[in-house]
Amino acid sequence: MNFAGRTILRAGNFNLNLSSTLISLCKIHQGSTLFPSIFSKTISTHFQIGPSKRVNRRWATVMASSFKPEQARAPPALQLPTPPISKFKIALCQLSVTAYKEWNIAHARQAIQEAVGRGAKLVVLPEIWNSPYSNDSFPLYAEDIDAGGDASPSTAMLSEAARTLKVTIIGGSIPERFEDRLYNTCCVFDTEGKLIAKHRKIHLFDIDIPGKITFKESKTLTAGEAPTVVDTEVGRIGIGICYDIRFQELAMLYAARGAHLLCYPGAFNMTTGPLHWELLQRARAVDNQLYVATCSPARDAGAGYIAWGHSTLVGPFGEVLATTEHDEAIIIAEIDYSQIELRRANLPLEKQRRGDLYQLVDVQRSKSQ
């Protein structure tokens, strides 16, 4: 700081031999733009307690308070809830998908049973696992999930498997028919076989990369209208489907709602998959300091839409904990929620956000309050 043409204070530690001068300046200039009151109080505190390290800590505390980190989320972020279980095994079932729905359903049921036999408490299926991934197929394979039973054989199987095997299932996604609209929908079942959440893909996959890939889900599908966070026997889970993972705001919102784990059934393609699939998963995990799980269909080189595969589990420090290649596989990996608290203690981002400069608004929660 310059006063009367002389430098009397530099960034970093305070010089103790300037104490009398600084205290005098605090008294003279307290409340002015030259010496704001918050600064003078900090310096006064320094000379009362002595060591410069304690000043730095107090200064950091005062500044952190002025940054208003709690206001960076509106409404304020929820405290991370205590999960019903701290450690468990997750299964990512990277399945082959054919044009035969009945075979797809029976094959998925077999994979779920195998995963449970290997110790999984949570099973995740791929995006569009009961149907070929194409705009032509979506209307033909779509099911009335709300009606259930024969109107939705895919979800009827998931409910039966969850109840019989006592496992929580993130049911990938299937084409859903609701009134005159079609959705790309993920169903979540608890260990009693009850449908406890239904996520309709919020961000539709409309891309055009000349000479590589063009696909417009919006030709047949309707976008969902609500984020989905669900409390399960294995913790609080935020659900997204494939293209949803590209939108960091959704993941941030889920983290602010207290999610332990984000699950994204997804079918990235041979153009964006090699470049973005793992990158996006690790980014969502490390930005929000939680677990991210993805599950892709296995690759079929003869299909109209060729999936990248590489289903993956990422930890809260951005580390890849388990993954596979493009062939059919069931990945079994352990989730340890204590790692979330550890990493958030290592890097206390929640306390360091600048609510005085930016804010993420959860529109749905705001309207409900």
Which are the catalytic amino acids?
127, 201, 242
Spacing of C-alpha 301 from chain mean position: 30
- Range list of β-strands (E), 195-344: 195-200, 206-209, 213-216, 228-232, 235-239, 261-265, 291-295, 312-314, 320-323, 329-336
Report DSSP letters for 56-104, one per residue: HHHHHHHHHHHT-GGGGEESPPPPPPPPS-SEEEEEEEE----S-HHHH
Amino acid at 26: C
Sign of the alpha-carbon dihedral angle for 358, 360, 365, 368: positive
Distance CA 134, CA 243 (A): 15
Name the DSSP letter for residue 246: G
> φ and ψ at 60, to 5 degrees?
-65, -40
Distance CA 264, CA 157 (A): 21
Omega of the bond leading into 139 within 30 degrees of 0 (cis): no
Helix (H), strand (E) at residue 272: none
Parallel, antiparallel, or unpaired for β 73-74 and 360-361? parallel
